Amino acid sequence: MSELDQGQRAFSSFRVLNGEGNHSEREDLFRNMAELFSYVSDRCDDEQVAQYDEVLCQLAEFVEIEARAHVASLLAPLDRAPGTVVVKLANDDIEVARPLLQFSKVLSDDDLIDIITHQSDQHREAIASRHKVAERVGDAIVDHGQTGSVVRLVRNTNAELHKATLEKLVERAAKDVEIAADLRGRTDIDWASLRGEIDDVASKVLETLGEMNRSVDPVTVGKVNAVVYNRMRNRAGFSSTEWKVAYNQVKALSDRKQLNERALARFARFGYGHHSAAALTVILQVKPEVFVKWLASQDYVAMTIALRAAGLAPDLFEAIFATMPWRDLPTTQDTKMVVSRFEAIEREEAANIFELWRAHSFRKRAATEERMAASA
């Protein structure tokens, strides 16, 4: 008996049953028909595919989730499959839907967008991991998805991300560390084209610094948003151009008596790293080149002593430390070690060390200047 003859017999069996068969018979028929179709799918004409589609859709209403999951896994890799039942199963529980959402070529972009809009974030994660994700589909995931599906989309280097979608991702990354960390790893993103959007957000922070009267919680600032904006804006570490701009703006804030811990907290919140560094240079009353040297040489010890002497709270210190435009981004282990040292040293001890260092540095600089003057 040929495979097509077996198919006709299967259809005949279903008509005989006509809804009167027991549960086991229906499940067997459902599985067997799907298996048969997987063997002959490339040889079926449109009418035959439509017949399979109609019967499988009806049977799907009467079988358990295990049977539906089995059939979904059979249909997922097929280039040609009954469209209605594929869409039906792709909207089923995630255990059933996952292989279809990940692999089925039968699902159109419109089908996927409808699922993204109406189903769970697990469904969106599966769609985000497809071999190819069209721009419209990716945009829908960013609009409707939670962190899990958006991170999965960002990690998928085959996902097409439109500039408008990237702008949305930048906004979300400013509030979500997980998204920011993975967005930073996308080497195909034209960061220069997004610079305007990034700068616009940061400029708004500066404009409102002097207008904010309510206190800013450094814990929230540090834990949620500290790393995010810096890891997009300061991808290449320290920038002399950005430093000059930041230093001038910070000096202006200082002249208006608005450079305080609240300002530091907001710099940290938005990852405005060069401004954080410039602000500390002014607060600590050290020369800019000294602070820049700390950043360039990854001098965590000097930074820890100086900021502990300045009286920063541990949470604010951790937030600011993460936003700094270091030559290389500190590892998680580095950050934990530095924060531990910061908490271990007393402020008075740190202040004494810092003052001794500053006095020594001043004497050393004065001696150098005298030698240079004598040799002139």
Kindly state the average pLDDT of the residues 145-156: 92
Helix axes 65-75, 83-90, angle to 10 degrees: 130
Helix axes 273-284, 300-309, angle to 10 degrees: 60
- Token duo for residue 355: 């003052």
What is residue 340's DSSP assignment? H
Q: What are the two backbone dihedrals, phi and then psi, of residue 233, each rounded to the nearest 5 degrees?
A: -70, -40
Question: With 60 as the cut, is the pLDDT of residue 364 above it?
Answer: no
Cα–Cα distance measured from residue 157 to residue 186, given in angstroms and rounded to the nearest whole number: 7
Mean pLDDT of the chain: 79
pLDDT digits (tens, 9 = 90+) for 157-203: 888 888 888 888 888 877 777 777 777 666 666 655 555 555 444 44
Distances (CA, A) of 20 to 24, 25, 154: 12, 10, 49
Q: What's the full length of the chain, in residues? A: 376
pTM of the complete model:
0.52
What residues are paired with 133 via a beta bridge? Answer: 159
Q: How many helices (H) and strands (E) does the chain have?
A: 23, 0
Question: With 60 as the cut, is the pLDDT of residue 150 above it?
Answer: yes
Cα–Cα distance measured from residue 138 to residue 52, given in angstroms and rounded to the nearest whole number: 32
259 burial level (CB within 10 Å; 0-12, 13-18, 19+) = buried
The predicted pLDDT at position 334 comes to: 85
> Does the CA dihedral 247-251-252-254 come out positive or negative?
positive
pLDDT digits (tens, 9 = 90+) for 60-111: 988 999 999 999 999 999 999 999 999 999 999 999 999 999 999 999 999 9
Distances (CA, A) of 45 to 37, 78, 323, 362: 12, 15, 61, 88
The predicted pLDDT at position 204 comes to: 44
Higher pLDDT, 341 or 209: 341
Helix axes 121-128, 135-144, angle to 10 degrees: 150
> Other CB atoms closer than 10 Å to residue 56's CB: what's the count?
23
Cα–Cα distance measured from residue 97 to residue 145, given in angstroms and rounded to the nearest whole number: 17
- Token duo for residue 81: 């499959």
342 burial level (CB within 10 Å; 0-12, 13-18, 19+) = buried
Confidence of residue 6 (pLDDT cuts 50, 70, 90): low
pLDDT digits (tens, 9 = 90+) for 227-242: 444 444 444 357 777 8
Cα–Cα distance measured from residue 261 to residue 258, given in angstroms and rounded to the nearest whole number: 9
Which amino acid belongs to residue 131?
H
Cα–Cα distance measured from residue 203 to residue 126, given in angstroms and rounded to the nearest whole number: 37
Q: What are the two backbone dihedrals, phi and then psi, of residue 159, each rounded to the nearest 5 degrees?
A: -80, 130
pLDDT digits (tens, 9 = 90+) for 229-288: 444 444 435 777 788 888 889 998 989 888 988 889 888 887 788 899 999 999 998 888
